[in-house]
Structure 1
C-alpha cells in the first residue's frame, strides 16, 4: 500500500461515509474504489462464461428504442 495526497470533493466523501457507515475518509475512498473496480476478472472466470447459452441478436437490441426495452 502507498500513501498519496489528493484533493477530494468533501461532499462526495461525506455522502459515501453517510451511506455506507464508514468513519474515515481513507475507508470511504477505499470502499469507493473497491466498488468501482468490482470483483477481479480472472482468466478462469472469463472462460467459465463460455457457452452460457445466451441466444439473441445484438443488432436487434441496438436498434430498439429505450421505450421498447
Structure 2
C-alpha cells in the first residue's frame, strides 16, 4: 500500500465512518475508493447497452453450461 498525506473533510469522513461501521480512517477511504471504482465500472458497462452487436444462441449456451439438461 502507498502512504499518502491528504486533507479530508472531517464531517463527511465522520459520516462515512458512521454509515459504514468502519473505525479506521484508512479503511473508510479505501472502502470509498473501491465503491467509486465499482460504480464507474458498472456505469461504463451499462453505457454499452445497445452499442454492442452480439450474435449467439443463449439457450444453447445455457444448455452447454449445465451439461445439456
Shorter-chain TM-score: what band?
Answer: 0.5 to 0.7
Detail structure 1 runs of 4+ shifted over 2 Å in the superposition. Answer: none
> Which is bigger in relative contact order (C-alpha 8 A, separation at least 6)?
1
Partner of residue 3, structure 1: 3
Q: CA RMSD in A?
A: 2.7
TM-score (normalised: structure 1): 0.55
- Which runs of 5 or more residues in structure 1 are unaligned? 52-69
Shift of 1:25: 0.6
Q: Which runs of 5+ in 2 are unaligned?
A: 55-69
The Cα shift of 1:37 comes to: 0.4
**What is the Cα deviation at residue 28 of structure 1?**
0.6
- Matched positions, count: 46
Q: TM-score scaled to structure 2, two decimals?
A: 0.55
CA distance in 2, matches of 1:35, 1:3: 20
User: Partner of 2:26 in structure 1?
Assistant: 26
**Counterparts of residues 33-44 of structure 1 (less than 5 Å):** 33-38=33-38
